[in-house]
Chains A and B, each alone.
Chain A
Amino acid sequence: MEKSLATLDNGTTCSSWNYSGQRLATGSVDGTLSIFDSGDPASTSFKCTSKARVGESGVVKVVWIPPLFGDAVACIDGNGSLSLWEELAEDAQAVEWKHSKSFQSNSAKVLDVQFGVFRTILKMYVQLVIVFVCSSQVVAYSDGQVKVYELSNPLELKNWQLQAEFQNLTDSVAKLAKASCFSASICWNPQRGDGQELSFVLGFNSDTPQLNSSKVWEFDLDHQRWVPVAELALPEDRKDQVFSVAWAPNIGRPYEVIAVATHKGIAIWHLGSNPDTDGRLSVERVALLSGYEAEVWQMEWDMSGMTLATTGTDGMVRLWQSNLNGIWHEQAAFEPTT
C-alpha cells in the first residue's frame, strides 16, 4: 500500500514538505539544502530540482516559511545557527535559492524554529519567528531563551526585529541561570481565520526542571507582550522533559487539542477557550498514551485534527485516534522494513 515518492541522497538528515505537499526540502550533513518537485501535479515522483549550500556544518532541521511570504525555508545547522533561504528570480534571471537572513549567536544554539502568521484588525501583518537558544556555556542571558522576531517588510525576508525575549516559565519574575537544553519543541496554534489570538505551545528537554513543562503562550495585544496562559503538565509531571508538542487543527471544536510527548507517554490535552480571572485557560488531560517505550521524535496532526501520527526512537510510525466514546488508542502502527 506504500508508494515511493522520492529517493534522497546519502547524508540526508532531515526533510520537510511545504504547505501544499507539492515541494520537499531536505538538508544533509554536508550543509546542502535540496528542493524536490514533481513535474506534473498528478505525478507522485519527486525529483531534486535545485540545491544550495546553506552552511559549513550539516543541516539538522528544515522548516518552510508560510506561503504568504513566498517559497522559503529556515535551516538550522549543526552549530545551532539559523539561516533563511528563499527562491527568487530577479531581473529575468533563472530561479535560484538565495540566502536572505542569518540569525547567529556566539554563545547559544538555535534548537527549534516555527513561523506564525498574524493579521491584526488593521490588516497589518506580523510574522513571527521563534528562536530558541540555549547554551552549554555559562552565559546567563541566553540560556533557554525564547526569542520572537517580527518581519518588518512582508515583501522580503531580510529585516527582522526582535519583538520579545523570555524564558519558558510561568512565573515571569524568576530568572534562571545556567540552563542546558538538549532540545525544544514549538508548535503554533494552527489557526485559520483572522482576528484569533496569536498563541503557541512550547516545551523543553533540559536539565532545568522549571523550563521543561509545556506552556501555552499567548500574545496580549493590549499590553504587547507574551503571557503564559496554560501549563500542560500535571503537578507531579512538571519536571518531565518534553520531547515534542503538537497543536491540532481546530475545525470547530469548542476547545483546542494539544499533544505533548514525555518519557511517560503521549498526553492529549484539551485546552479551554475562556480564560479565568487570572487570564489562565482551563486544561484537562484526556488521555495518556503509554506503553510506547520509545522517545518520541515527532508528532503531526492530520487536517481534521482527529488523527495523530508519531515517530520515535523505535523507528515505528504510529497513528492515534479517539473512538466515539472519547477514548484514545493506537489505531495502527507501521514498521519500516526493507
Chain B
Amino acid sequence: MPGLAPADSAGGGPDSVNGALVPYLPDSHVSAIYPLRHGLNPPISRVSVSWGRGNSLRVSVFRQPDSDGGEVGGKVVELTLGKSRDGEISDTQWRKIAYGSVSPFALLQSRKNSAASLSRMQLSPSPYHLEWWEYVMEYSKDISALLGDPKSVGAPLIEDPNEVFIKKSEEPSSLKAAWELMEMFYVDKLSQAWLPERLVDWLADYDSLISVDLPTVHSKLVEFQSKIVTLQVIEDDPRYWDLISSALAVGWLEIVVKLLRLHGSYRLDQLGRRETENGLVEAVAVLISKMPRMRPAIDAGKHGECFKAKPDFVKAWERWRAQITKLDSSAFWVQCDNRQTREGLKNVLQIMLGNVDVLCSATCHWMELYISHFLYIRPFTAGLESMYSLAQNCIRLKHTSNPHKLMRLMIGILGENNEVVLSECSRGFGTWMVAHAIELLTAGSNEADFLVHEERENLGGISLEELHRLVYAQLLSSHLLTWQIAPIYLTSCMRQGMGMLEILLLKQPVQENQVLLKLHLFVQNLEICRLYELDGVSSRLMEISGMYHWKHGRKGCAVFWLQQAQDEVRLSKIASQLFESVGKSISGESFKQWEGLIELLGSEGQPAGGLDFLHKYRDFKKCLQHADSKKDADAARQAVESLMSLMRNASTPQRFWLPILYDAVKLLSWDKRPLINVSQTNLLLNKLQELSLARLRPDFVEPELPTHALNHVRYSLATNLGRAILEES
C-alpha cells in the first residue's frame, strides 16, 4: 500500500502525525505529554479511564485514602479529544456549520447514489443532465455560504478619503479560505481558464489570515492606515511608496489608485506648481486602473479591464505594456523635480513591467510573490501548468520555517499530492473539513477518487472516505446537541457506518431525569432506528426502557415497552408472576394491584405469553366473587360460563387447572340446584384425570393449594355429577 502523507512531502511533522487516523492533537509529536489538571493534592494512588460520548475520555483520579478524612478523595475530569474544526470558530458557530452542512451533504450523497444506480443500469444520463462537477459545485457553494461571507461587505456609504483600506466587518475564516482553495482547484471547471485571477481574489480576501504569523502586504496596509492621518506630506514618507508597490504587486489595484490620489500634488493649493508631477501620478493611476485582466467579470469598484478570450487579452496586454514602456521613457520624468515621487512612480512602472527583483522586494511572503508572478511576469498562464515549480521557486525566495496551514494546503494542492491535501485538511482544519472536502477532491480527478475509495486492509477494509466520515461522526456524537446528525454521516458509510451507528444508539440513555425530554429523546432514537431499519437496536432500546420502568415500579410502562419490543421471554415471566399472585387469592390486595396490569395486557390485539388466559381468569374470579358475596344465581351462572370457557380453552396452563377447579368448588356445591350439567361435569372430570396423569411427569409443578384440594375437587365433582343426573332425568 502506498504510504500516506510521507513526512517530507508534507513540509514538516513526523509521519505519525500526518498519517494519524484521528488527529487528536494535530501538532503533537510522538513523545508529547499534555498536563491533565485535576487539582488534587498528592499522593495519587490510581487513575482510571472510561470513554464517554464519542471522543470524550473520562479520567478518574484517586487520592491515597486519608486517615483524617478531611481531603477530597478524587476527581473525575473529562477530556474532549480531537479537533472538530478550526480554532477560530466559536462553539455556537461551529454547531451552525455542523447542522447546516448536513443537508447539502445528504443531497449530494443521494445524487451520487442515483447516478451510481443509473450507471449500473447502463443508462447514459440524459443530455439535459448536469455534469457531476456541477452538482459538487452546488454543494460547495452551499457549504461555502455557511462558512461566512467576507465579500458581502461593501464599501462604506460615506467614503472617507483617508480610508484606503476597507476593513471587512466579518473576519474571514481559514476554514472558508481553505474551502475556496479546494473549490477553485478541484471543482470549478469554469474558472480553470482564469485560475491566476481567482488566486488574486483569494489572496485579497484572505491575506489577513496569513498575517497572524508573518508580515504581509495586508499587515503593512493596516499599519499604514493607522498612521495616515498624522502624515503631513504623504509622498515624502518612504512607506507610502513602498506600500503602493506592494499593493500593486499583489494586484490590489483600487487600493493603489486610491493611495496615488492621496498624493500631495492633487491638493488644490499645489495645482499651479506641481502640474507635471501630478500629471505623472495621474498617468500611472490611469494605467493601473486600465490593466487588462483575463477574467469574465470584475466586482464593481475594482479596477481593470476584463477579457474573456485569450487572444483579445493578449492584444490588450501588449498595448498596455507598450503604454507603460512609453511612459517609462517619457521626457516628463526629467521635469519632475520631486525625487520621491519620481523614484516611487518609476518603481511602480517596474512592477507593471514585471521586474522580478522589484516584485520580490515589494512582496512579503511567497504566496504574494507567487501571485505577482501571475500578474506581471506570466500573465498568460492558464491551468495548473508548471504552477508547482513556480511555487517552489517563490518558497525558496521567501522561505519561512513554520508555514501557515493554508500555505501547507496550497503546496499540497499545487504539488498535486492528494494524500498531502487530505492530511493537511485534517491536520489544519479538523475532521469536519476533511469529511466534507473529500467530495471536492474526488470531483477533480480519478486518481483522487481511487485514493479515497480504495478499500484498505490496514484499516479493516474501509476506505479513507469512510474513515474520515466515521471520525467526524464520532466527534459529532461527543456532544448532546450534535449527535443526532451523526447518523447521516454513518449511514453514508457502506462498510462500517452501520456498525458504529448501532453502538452509538445503544449508548444513548433511555432515561433522563426530566420526563418530557426523556420521552422526546427516546422516541427520537426509536425513530432513527426505524429510519435505518435497525429493528434489533430499537427492540433492545425498548427492552432497556421496559426493564428500567419495571425496576422503578412503573409496571404499566414496563409492560408497554416490553410488548413493543416483543420480548416474549420477559413478558411470559411477568405473566407467570401474575399467575402466581392471581392464583393465590381472589380477594387479596395483590389481586387488586395486578388487576390494572391485566387490563393493560389484555388491551393489546394479540396478547403475548398466554396473557389472554389471564384476562379470562380475571373475569372468572370476579364473577365468582360476585356470586359468592351476593348469593346471586345469575352471577353464579355467569361464573360457570367463564369456568367452562377457561377449561375448554387450550391456552389455559395446566398448572392452573386445579386452582380453577378448586375455586369452582363453590359453584359445584351451589345449594339451590346444580349449576353444572352432566356433560360439563364430565369435561371437568376428564381434565382432572388428565391432570392426575400429568402429575406423574417429573417436570410437573404442584400448585400452592391445601393438600386435600384434589380430593375435595374430585368429591365435589362426583357429587355434582350425581345431582346433575338426577336433575336432568
Report yes or no: B47 in contact with A13, Cβ–Cβ below 8 A: no
- B573 and A154 contacting across the interface, CB-CB below 8 Å: yes
- 0 or 1 for each of B470-481: is its CB under 8 Å from A? (1 = yes): 110010010011
Which one of B48, B574, B577 has the highest number of Cβ atoms from chain A below 10 Å of its Cβ? Answer: B48
A316 in contact with B73 given A17-B58, A21-B58, A302-B55 (CB within 8 Å): no
- With A5-B58, A46-B76, A317-B36 already in contact, the answer to whether A91 and B51 are too (CB < 8 A) is no
Q: Is A222 an interface residue (CB 8 A)?
A: no
Q: Is the CB of B51 within 8 A of A336?
A: no
CB contacts (< 8 Å) of B47 on chain A: these are: 297, 311, 315-317, 336
Flag if B36 contacts A335 (CB, 8 Å).
yes
Q: Is A121 an interface residue (CB 8 A)?
A: no
| Cβ of B279 under 8 Å from chain A | no
A319 touches B502 (CB 8 A): no
Q: Which B residues are in CB contact (< 8 Å) with A326?
A: 457-459
CB atoms of B48 and A298 under 8 A apart: yes
Q: Which of A235-285 contact B (CB under 8 A)?
A: 249-255
Task: Give which listed residue, A13, A86, A317, A321, contacts B62 with CB less than 8 A.
Answer: A13
| A22-30, A73-81, A142-150, A168-176: which lies at the interface | A22-30
Contacts of B567 in A (CB 8 A): 123
Q: Is B42 an interface residue (CB 8 A)?
A: yes
Q: Residue A155 contacts which of B5, B16, B44, B574 (CB distance < 8 angstroms)? A: B574
Complex CA–CA separation, A41 to B623 (angstroms): 50
CA distance A280 to B79 in the complex (A): 40
Minimum C-beta distance from B68 to chain A (A): 9
Q: How large is the interface on A (under 10, 10 to 19, 20 to 34, 35 or more residues)?
A: 35 or more
Residue from A21, A29, A304 with most neighbouring chain B CB atoms (10 Å)? A304
Please tell me which stretch of A63-71, A132-140, A199-207 contacts chain B, meaning at least 4 of its Cβ atoms lie within 8 angstroms of it.
Answer: A63-71
A89, B551: Cβ atoms closer than 8 Å: yes
A residues in contact with B56, CB < 8 Å: 21
Contacts of A225 in B (CB 8 A): none
Q: Is A106 an interface residue when CB atoms closer than 8 A count as contact?
A: no
Q: Do residues B59 and A317 form an inter-chain contact, with CB atoms below 8 A?
A: yes
A332–B34 contact, CB under 8 A?
A: yes
Q: How far is the CA of A116 from the CA of B541 in the complex (A)?
A: 17
Q: B25-33, B238-246, B714-722: which one contacts chain A?
A: B25-33
B196 on the A face (CB < 8 A): no
A96 CA / B500 CA spacing, docked (Å): 34
Q: A10 near B79 (CB under 8 angstroms)?
A: no
State whether A192 touches B499 (Cβ < 8 A).
yes
User: Given A17-B58, A321-B22: A336 and B551 within 8 A (CB)?
Assistant: no
Q: Which of A14-66 contact B (CB under 8 A)?
A: 14-17, 19-22, 24, 26, 28-29, 37, 39-42, 44, 46
Q: Which of A300-331 contact B (CB under 8 A)?
A: 300-304, 306-307, 309-311, 315-317, 319, 321-327, 329-331
On chain B, the residues within 8 Å of A301 by CB distance are 51
Question: Is the CB–CB distance between B552 and A15 below 8 Å?
Answer: no
Q: Which residues of A contact B461 (CB under 8 A)?
A: 252-254
Instruction: Give the chain B neighbours of A123 by CB distance below 8 A.
Output: 567-569
- Are B76 and A4 within 8 A (Cβ)? yes
A88 at the interface (CB under 8 A from B): yes
Give every chain A residue within 8 A of B41 (Cβ-Cβ).
338
In the complex with contacts A21-B58, A192-B499, A298-B48, A323-B21 CB distance below 8 A: yes
Interface residue A221 (Cβ < 8 Å from any Cβ of B): no
Interchain CA distance A225-B547 in the complex, whole Å = 29
A9 to B40: give the CA distance in the assembly, Å.
12
Q: Within B474-527, which residues are at the interface with A (CB < 8 Å)?
A: 474, 477, 480-481, 495-500, 502-504, 506-510, 512-514, 517, 521
* Residue numbers in A under 8 Å from B552 (CB-CB): 87-89, 95
Q: Are A309 and B51 in contact (CB under 8 A)?
A: yes
Asked if A6 is an interface residue, CB under 8 A from chain B, the answer is yes
Separation of A19 and B512 alpha carbons in the complex (Å): 14
B507 touches A40 (CB 8 A): no
Q: Which residue of B lies closest to A305 (CB)?
A: B460
* Cross-chain contact of B503 among A154, A192, A315, A332 (Cβ < 8 A): A192
CB distance from A286 to the nearest CB of B (A): 9
Chain A residues in 8 Å Cβ range of B383: none
| A9: contacting residue among B73, B464, B517, B569, CB under 8 A | B73
Is B550 touching A321 in the complex (CB atoms < 8 A)? Answer: no
Q: How far is the CA of A4 from the CA of B35 in the complex (A)?
A: 14
B57 partner residues in chain A, CB cutoff 8 A: 302, 309, 317, 319
The answer to whether A319 touches B40 (Cβ under 8 A) is no
Q: Is the CB of B33 within 8 A of A334?
A: yes
Q: Tell me the complex Cα distance, A296–B456, Å.
A: 31
Q: Which residues of B contact A317 (CB under 8 A)?
A: 36, 47, 49, 57, 59
Write the chain A residue with the least CB distance to B63.
A10
Those of B547-594 within 8 Å (CB) of chain A = 547-548, 550-553, 567-570, 573-574, 577
Whether A223 sits at the interface, judged by CB under 8 Å, is: no
Note all chain B residues with C-beta closer than 8 A to A297.
46-48
Q: Nearest residue in A to B501 (C-beta to C-beta)?
A: A251
Query: Is B61 an interface residue, CB under 8 A from the partner?
Result: yes
Q: Bound state CA distance, A334 and B77, in angstroms?
A: 12
How far, in whole Å, are A262 and B428 apart by their CA atoms in the complex?
A: 37
Q: How far is the CA of A5 from the CA of B52 in the complex (A)?
A: 12
Q: Are A14 and B48 in contact (CB under 8 A)?
A: yes
Report how far A70 CA is from B546 CA in the complex, Å.
9
Residue from the set B38, B60, B477 with the largest chain A CB neighbour count within 10 Å:
B60
Q: Complex Cα distance A95/B72, Å?
A: 27
- Asked if A125 is at the interface of the complex by the 8 Å CB criterion, the answer is yes
Given contacts A92-B553, A303-B51, contact A68 B456 (CB under 8 A): no
Contact between chains at A253 and B568 (CB < 8 Å): no
* Chain A residues numbered 78-120 whose CB sits less than 8 Å from any CB in chain B: 86-93, 95
Q: A95 to B549: give the CA distance in the assembly, Å.
A: 12
**Alpha-carbon distance A76/B443, docked complex (angstroms):** 57
How long is the Cα–Cα vector from A224 to B435 in the complex, in angstroms? 46
User: Smallest CB-CB separation from A257: which chain B residue?
Assistant: B460
CB contacts (< 8 Å) of A13 on chain B: these are 45-46, 62, 65
- Asked whether A193 and B474 contact (CB < 8 A) given A10-B72, A317-B36, the answer is no
Closest A residue to B69 using CB positions: A10
Asked if A11 is at the interface of the complex by the 8 Å CB criterion, the answer is yes
B146 beta carbon closer than 8 Å to chain A: no
Nearest chain-A residue to B546 (Cβ)?
Answer: A68
Partner of A303, one of B464, B504, B574: B504
Tell me the bound Cα distance from A321 to B25 in angstroms: 12
B296 at the A/B interface (Cβ < 8 Å)?
no
Asked whether, in the complex, the Cβ of A71 is within 8 Å of the Cβ of B548, the reply is yes
Task: Kindly list chain A residues whose C-beta atoms are within 8 Å of the C-beta of B629.
Answer: none
Chain B nearest Cβ from A267, distance in angstroms:
18
Quick check: is A333 within 8 A (CB to CB) of the other chain? yes
Q: Which residues of B have CB within 8 Å of A153?
A: 573
CB of B630 within 8 Å of the partner chain: no
Contact B46 A10 (CB under 8 A): no
- Give the docked Cα–Cα distance between A238 and B39 (Å): 41
Q: How far is the CA of A333 from the CA of B616 in the complex (A)?
A: 66
Contact A155 B570 (CB under 8 A): yes
Q: Closest CB of chain B to A36's CB: distance in Å?
A: 8
The answer on a CB contact under 8 Å between B500 and A6 is no
Contact of A254 among B81, B460, B513, B521 (CB under 8 A): B460
A288, CB-defined interface residue at 8 Å? no
> For the complex, what is the distance from the CA of A41 to the CA of B65, rounded to whole Å?
31
Q: List 24 A-B contacts (CB under 8 A).
A: A8-B75, A8-B76, A10-B73, A14-B46, A16-B50, A24-B76, A41-B521, A46-B76, A68-B547, A69-B547, A70-B550, A124-B569, A153-B573, A251-B503, A302-B57, A317-B36, A319-B57, A321-B20, A323-B15, A324-B4, A324-B5, A326-B458, A329-B30, A336-B44
Residues of A within 8 A of B (CB): 1-17, 19-22, 24, 26, 28-29, 37, 39-42, 44, 46, 67-71, 86-93, 95, 123-125, 153-155, 192-194, 249-255, 297-298, 300-304, 306-307, 309-311, 315-317, 319, 321-327, 329-338
Given A16-B50, A21-B50; 12 other pairs, CB 8 A cutoff: A4-B75, A8-B76, A11-B69, A17-B50, A68-B543, A70-B551, A255-B460, A297-B47, A326-B457, A331-B16, A333-B32, A336-B59
